[in-house]
């Protein structure tokens, strides 16, 4: 899946679905420019990717090179990306502790 197709898929899965105009307004660009992104005629500048990923509620990594459908907006990889580094460390430590506990039970 191309970057443009990932942008479109992520945008269209949200409810309510943001329009190309909504995304364009976020960057002070036209809806035509967003349409060009989605058709792979142009690509967003690198400095727009993080903001675009946040608005589309997907991880930056998925937006840049992900495969398959976009993750759900409430998926852990989406939610954790918006945390502060200290908060992310707590979540990761908790996940590791849960995995270790699970492995010890098995």
Q: How many domains does the chain have?
A: 1
Cβ(40)–Cβ(46) under 8 Å?
Answer: no
Long-range contacts, 73-81 (Cβ 8 Å, 24+): 73/13, 73/14, 81/53, 81/54
pLDDT, residue 106, reads 61
Cβ(24)–Cβ(33) under 8 Å?
Answer: yes
Task: Please state, in angstroms and rounded to a whole number, the distance separating the CA atoms of residues 23 and 54.
Answer: 11
Place of tokens 């903001």: 51
Find the helix packing angle between 31-38 and 3-13, rounded to 10°: 120
Q: Which two tokens stand for residue 74?
A: 């409430």
Q: Which two tokens stand for residue 104?
A: 């010890």
Q: What is the mean pLDDT of residues 71-84?
A: 85
Q: What is the mean pLDDT of the chain?
A: 92
Q: CATH number for the domain including 93?
A: 1.10.260.40
Q: Which residue has the higher pLDDT, 99 or 5?
A: 5
Give the DSSP letter string of 65-99: H--SSPPPTTSHHHHHHTS-HHHHHHHHHHHHHHH
Range of the domain at 55: 3-105
pLDDT tens-place string over residues 7-44: 999 999 999 999 999 999 999 999 999 999 999 999 99
């Amino acid at each position: 899946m191309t970057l443009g197709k990932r942008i479109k898929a992520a945008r269209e899965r949200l409810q309510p679905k943001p329009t190309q105009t909504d995304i364009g307004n976020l960057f002070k660009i036209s809806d035509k420019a967003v349409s060009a992104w989605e058709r792979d005629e142009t690509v967003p500048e690198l400095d727009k990717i993080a903001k675009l990923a946040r608005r589309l509620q997907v991880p930056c990594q998925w937006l840049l090179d992900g495969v398959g459908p976009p993750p759900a907006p409430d998926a852990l990889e989406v939610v954790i990306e918006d945390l502060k580094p200290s908060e992310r460390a707590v979540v990761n430590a908790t996940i590791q502790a849960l995995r270790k506990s699970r492995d010890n039970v098995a």
